[in-house]
Amino acid sequence: MTVFGIGIDVVENHRIAEAIQRHGERFLERIFQPGETEYCRSMRDPHPHFAARFAAKEAVSKAFGTGFAGQVTWRDIEIRRKASGEPFVVLHNGAAALARQLGIRTVLVSLSHSDGYAVANALLLQD
């Protein structure tokens, strides 16, 4: 496997909390898949979890080298969890098409958060 791209992003948790307070469901529906929202809302303090997923989406878009311009949208990058707790990425629509076009077979992601910040790394691998 060959590394196609890497990405990293850090987010202040309070900025995501403020966006949710200001824009409510409209913000959540624009950024997150329903399963992501359901997972985050199941947590005692959902904002760091939303922030970590936001950072992961940014990191993946940076690893593609596109950001959220063109065919990749926020909801095209979904962050899920395995039973073990390990996060993984599911690509949809434009992001999935771009990954196929570029020969990207694996997307790895790592998330972390504290009271103040969330961070994520992403690695895209080609066969």
**CATH number where 84 lies:** 3.90.470.20
Tell me the per-residue pLDDT of 72-88, one tens digit each, with 9 for 90 and over. 999 999 999 999 999 99
62 is annotated as an active-site residue: yes
Average pLDDT taken over every residue of the chain: 96
* Residue 9 main-chain phi, psi, to 5 deg: -155, 145
Contacts of 34 by beta carbon, 8 Å cutoff, 6+ apart? none
Residue 81's SS3 state is strand
Distances (CA, A) of 108 to 22, 32, 87: 32, 18, 9
Please report the pLDDT score of residue 74 as a whole number: 97
Please report the pLDDT score of residue 127 as a whole number: 84
Does residue 34 have a pLDDT over 90?
yes
* Closest by Cα among 118, 102, 99, 101 to 110: 118
List 49, 62, 82, 92, catalytic entry: 62
Structure tokens at 114: 């504290």
113 is annotated as an active-site residue: yes
pTM listed for this prediction = 0.96
Q: How many domains does the chain have?
A: 1
Domain that holds residue 66: 2-126
